Structure 1
Amino acid sequence: MAKLFSSLRRGTELVGVLLFSAMFVMFILQIFTRYVLGRPFGWTSEACVIFYVWIVFWTSAFLVHERDHVAFTIFYESASPKGKRVLAIIGAAALLVAFAAALPGTFDWVAFMKIEATPVMHIRFDIIYSVFVLFVIAVIGRAGYDLYRLAGPHWREEVEEQRQPDASEAPTK
């Protein structure tokens, strides 16, 4: 099972790298056509924005860990392990409920956006914003999995600090 998750993680990382690389190529092409050729392509700017939207939601859904998000943790850090567990359960449950409640509306909104398209490349907005549906589903799944782990016998491992010190925090001699 760990090998499957590792392969899936590698696949999602590859998609993120390909999206970022494509955006970078479009950006360089836009600079070249604008400043070297003097005739910019309109579609490259639009492509950069589309790739950016996909990068943000794809990486947030599948690659960025919860500990990497900006969070206000003053109460959480000062709580006992049992208090941390309660706070983590409340947070995960709130995310699960909020995003699950928003899922039908998200589907409807994305489906409705098929009536609009980008001005230059004529790509339908439902295709562009379909990644947002994946993001919402991933948040629901992650919150559900967090609740499952917090309800299990190894919940202490979930609330203990698991982060490794980075280079700036390394002890000096």
Structure 2
Amino acid sequence: MERLTSLGGWLHRRAENVAVGMLATMFAAFIVQVAFRYLLNLPVGWASELTLVMWLWLVLWGAGLVLPEREEIRFDVIWGAAGRKARRWMQVVAAGALLFLYGASLPAAWDFVSFMSIQKTSYLRIRYDHLFMVFMIFLVAVLFRYAWLFVQALRGRPEPGGHNVEDLP
């Protein structure tokens, strides 16, 4: 189990490295776009397109693989007022519902992504199926995350906020 935890930490750090690379690429493309447009009076479409592609990938990559569960934005008024058993079952129900919804959307998402192979972006000529593949990565990552949370809640293990379900009031 210790080896698995170590591997998970290493993979998480690599996912963060990829996100940093995407952010750096997006920033560089933005600077190139501004410089060419306002200093050289020569607008370049590829820089704008690259910025948009990096933004799309960064948001979905980060939400699926980098952002820890405890740092997601939530409205937890009901969660905070609930007792230990209620929180545990709310986590089971929420994780189960999200597993069902994301799982049910997986085939349709795959059909759409694979269908988009017929088009390419205007400037960089990236096939849209390659561009939207990050959504499939996001879906699979979220399915794994909520499967893990579902099992942990059933076992009474730590919840996303870092608290142990057993220690709650």
Q: Same fold (TM over 0.5)?
A: yes
1:131-142 paired onto structure 2 within 5 Å: 131-142=134-145
CA contact (8 A) 2:15 2:66 kept: yes
| 1:90 is the counterpart of 2:93 | yes
Equivalent residue, structure 1, for 2:56: 53
Question: Structure 1: which 5+ residue stretches go unaligned?
Answer: 164-173
Q: 1:14 aligns with which of 17, 31, 36?
A: 17
* Alignment check: 8 A CA contact 1:81 1:156 kept: no
User: 1:76 & 1:86 partners in 2: Cα distance?
Assistant: 11
Q: Which residue of 2 aligns with 1:3?
A: 6
1:30 aligns to 2:33 (yes or no): yes
Query: How far does residue 92 in structure 1 lie from its aligned partner after superposition?
Result: 0.3
Q: CA deviation at 1:156?
A: 5.2
Q: What is the RMSD of the two structures over their aligned residues, measured on CA atoms? A: 1.3
Corresponding residue of 2:124:
121
Answer whether contact 1:99 1:136 (CA < 8 A) is retained: yes
Partners of 1:59 and 1:131 lie apart in 2 by 10
**2:82 — aligned with what?**
79
Aligned to 1:169: none
Instruction: Give every structure 1 segment of 4 or more consecutive aligned residues whose post-TM-superposition deviation is greater than 3 Å.
Output: none
Counterpart position of 1:167: none
Q: Distance in 1 between matches of 2:157 and 2:25?
A: 42
Per the normalisation by structure 1, the TM-score is: 0.88
By how many angstroms is 1:116 displaced? 1.4
| Partner residue in 2 for 1:157 | 158
Q: Which runs of 5+ in 2 are unaligned?
A: 164-169
Task: Map Cα deviations across residues 93-146 of structure 1 (whole Å, 9 max, x no partner).
Answer: 011000000000010000011111111222111000000000011111111000
Please give the alpha-carbon distance, in whole angstroms, between the structure 2 residues aligned to 1:66 and 1:7: 18
| Separation (CA, whole Å) in 2 of partners of 1:40 and 1:55 | 24
With structure 2 as the length reference, what TM-score do the two structures score? 0.90
Aligned residue pairs, count: 160
Letter in 2 for 1:98: L
Percent pairwise identity: 32
Residues 96-111 of structure 1 correspond to what in structure 2 (within 5 A)? 96-111=99-114
Q: Distance in 1 between matches of 2:84 and 2:157?
A: 7
